[in-house]
């Protein structure tokens, strides 16, 4: 059922368009109605080759809440990184120590790796450069690295932690 989250978001947005309101309450109502539609059409939407557990409504709502929590953490990290980049750019002496770190990921799924890499790239001052052959190491370029270990811990306890909650 996790693979239908995009479909549910689209259905919720269509609901908001039909209501001519884009707010949290209408989006929540649209999400619940979208879940009902997906649940009723699950036999059509599911791939019969793979046995997947259908999430209950409470599990699905917890999953939606995890996505919103991830979005809040991502926005917080983007704002924090923007201030850091502005501080670097506006300082009288441009003291940057750019570099590339090899970040050992705990995220295992392709979707999780993609979300993490894209989130890092969208955060100002960092860029996902490459991924290792074994898909366990992500190479990240940072505009200013004072402490590589601190950067790794920051990623691990914010973006990766909540990415893993959503996509494993």
Return the closest-CA partner of residue 13 out of 46, 24, 2.
Answer: 24
CATH number of 93-167: 3.30.70
Q: Please give the pLDDT value at position 43.
A: 67
pLDDT: which is higher, 2 or 65: 65
Interval 97-144: pLDDT, tens: 899 999 999 998 888 899 999 999 999 999 999 999 999 999 999 998
Write out the two tokens for 50: 């793979």
Whether residue 104 contacts residue 134, with contact meaning beta carbons closer than 8 Å, is answered with no
pLDDT: which is higher, 94 or 159: 159
What single DSSP character describes residue 156?
Answer: I
pLDDT: which is higher, 131 or 67: 131
What single DSSP character describes residue 157?
Answer: I
Interval 37-52: pLDDT, tens: 888 777 666 655 555 5
Interval 79-109: pLDDT, tens: 999 998 888 888 888 778 899 999 999 998 8
Interval 3-40: pLDDT, tens: 678 788 888 888 888 888 888 889 889 888 988 888 87
What distance lies between CA 128 and its chain's CA centroid? 14
Domains of the chain, by residue range, sit at 2-55, 93-167
CA dist 154 to 23, 76, 83, 97, Å?
32, 12, 16, 18
């Amino acid at each position: 059922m996790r693979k239908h989250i995009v479909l549910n978001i689209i259905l919720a947005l269509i609901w908001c368009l039909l209501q001519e309101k884009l707010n949290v309450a209408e989006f929540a109502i649209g999400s619940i109605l979208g879940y009902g539609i997906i649940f009723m059409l699950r036999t059509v939407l599911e791939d019969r080759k793979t046995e997947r557990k259908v999430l209950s409504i409470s599990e699905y709502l917890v999953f939606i809440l995890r996505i919103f929590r991830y979005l809040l953490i991502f926005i917080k990290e983007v704002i924090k990184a923007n201030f850091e980049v502005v501080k670097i750019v506006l300082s009288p002496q441009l003291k940057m120590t750019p570099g590339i770190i090899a970040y050992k990921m705990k995220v295992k799924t392709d979707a999780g790796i993609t979300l993490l890499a894209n989130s890092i790239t969208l955060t100002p001052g960092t860029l996902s450069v490459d991924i290792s052959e074994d898909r366990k190491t992500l190479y990240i370029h940072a505009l200013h690295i004072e402490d590589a270990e601190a950067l790794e811990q920051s990623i691990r306890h914010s973006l990766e932690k909540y990415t893993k909650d959503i996509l494993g």
